[in-house]
Amino acid sequence: MAISRVIAACAAGLLMAGAAGATPVDVDHIVYPGLTATNPGVYAGSVDMSYADGVLTIVLRNTSTGLAGPEAADNLLTGIGFDLPDGVWIAGGSVVMAPGWDAGDLFNVTPPIGWNGNLSSEWGYDTQGINSGAFGNADLMDGNFVDNAVSVMESQTTGRLAGGSLGGSPGLGGTDFGLLSDAVDGGILGNGLAGIQHAVVISLGLGGDIPADLVARINRGDVVLSFGSPTGVPVPEPSTLALLLFGGLFGLAKLRRRSK
């Protein structure tokens, strides 16, 4: 089946079914722009995945417990990085707001009449090797290696999922249209930063020889989330504030590392 037909089928009604039968996937690592005022302890996200008929469905949610600090963009979940088996690649896809969204889940943008929650023009992807952005930064990744990503960040992607623009940018709009936690009021974004709340459903059409245990294999590899626009040299999550201050401008939070 053609990739475009697969994605259209998902948009037409398979999203809820995919979410219902999804498998929780462990988040191994979080990268973020850790200014000295940032509290890494609040950062969290959940990932659920399912695979059927050539489409990998990812339900991505920002589950942070509160504000990470005064920088509004730093509170937005801006991307996910993960490994695909050798010989499997992303061929296209879509990003939509999860079932149950309403107008109150979209901040600082007025969508066109007839908009149906499709965010594909504001998200992009990188496949078969990460060479730029946070997911390709060895200092930030701290030994967590990923070769595929889906993100709102131009620096973390090589292709957009769809043309057009909700926010008016000719390309991806930086951290715009990243995910805000339900625990955080959308007012933190101010008047210029576009964001969404609740969750998104990422549907990726895959090419190649796809194994039956695809989701299990992804879970055995590294799964990484990015918040804000992480750059620079990080510091491991501190056990004391002194360690964080010693690290300088940027930090790195690790949820947990488990043996896979």
Q: Are 31 and 57 in contact (CB under 8 A)?
A: no
pLDDT at 132: 83
Query: Taking a C-beta distance cutoff of 8 angstroms, is the pair 95, 160 a contact?
Result: no
The larger pLDDT score, comparing residue 52 to residue 164, is at 52
The identity of residue 158, as a single letter, is T
Write the DSSP symbol of residue 109: -
When pLDDT is cut at 50, 70 and 90, the band that residue 18 belongs to is: very low
Name the average pLDDT for the chain: 82
pLDDT for the residue numbered 203: 98
Q: Are 18 and 49 in contact (CB under 8 A)?
A: no
The phi-psi region of residue 180 (left if phi > 0; otherwise alpha if psi is between -120 and 50; otherwise beta) is: beta
Q: Is 80 exceeded by the pLDDT of residue 167?
A: no
Angle, vertex CA 104, rays to CA 121 and CA 167, nearest 5: 25
Domain boundaries, the chain: 3-253
Nearest of 42, 50, 45 to residue 27 by alpha carbon: 45
In whole angstroms, give the CA distance from residue 161 to residue 63: 25
Sign of CA dihedral 240, 133, 57, 103: positive
Single out the residue of 198, 158, 150, 153 nearest to residue 49, CA to CA.
Answer: 150
Query: Which amino acid, residue 95?
Result: V
Query: Running DSSP on this structure, what letter comes out for residue 253?
Result: E
Smallest Cα–Cα separation from 71: which of 196, 236, 184?
Answer: 184
State phi, psi for 121 to the nearest 5 degrees: -70, -15
Q: Is residue 197 predicted with pLDDT exceeding 80?
A: yes
Largest separation between any pair of C-alpha atoms in the chain = 56
Higher pLDDT, 164 or 13: 164
User: What is residue 13's DSSP assignment?
Assistant: I
Q: How far is CA 64 from CA 40, 116, 201, 236, 237, in A?
A: 10, 26, 18, 19, 16
For residue 31, is pLDDT > 90? Answer: yes
Q: How confident is the model at residue 232 (pLDDT cuts 50, 70, 90)?
A: low
- Using alpha carbons, select from 124, 130, 201 the residue that is nearest to residue 164: 124
CA distances, 142 to each of 16, 149, 222, 255 (Å): 35, 17, 11, 12
Higher pLDDT: 170 or 103? It is 103
> Which strands, in side-by-side order, build the sheet including 45-52?
23-25, 45-52, 55-62, 200-208, 88-97
Q: In the chain, what is the straight-line distance between the N-terminal and C-terminal CA atoms, in Å?
A: 33
CA dist., res. 211 & res. 217, Å (int) = 9
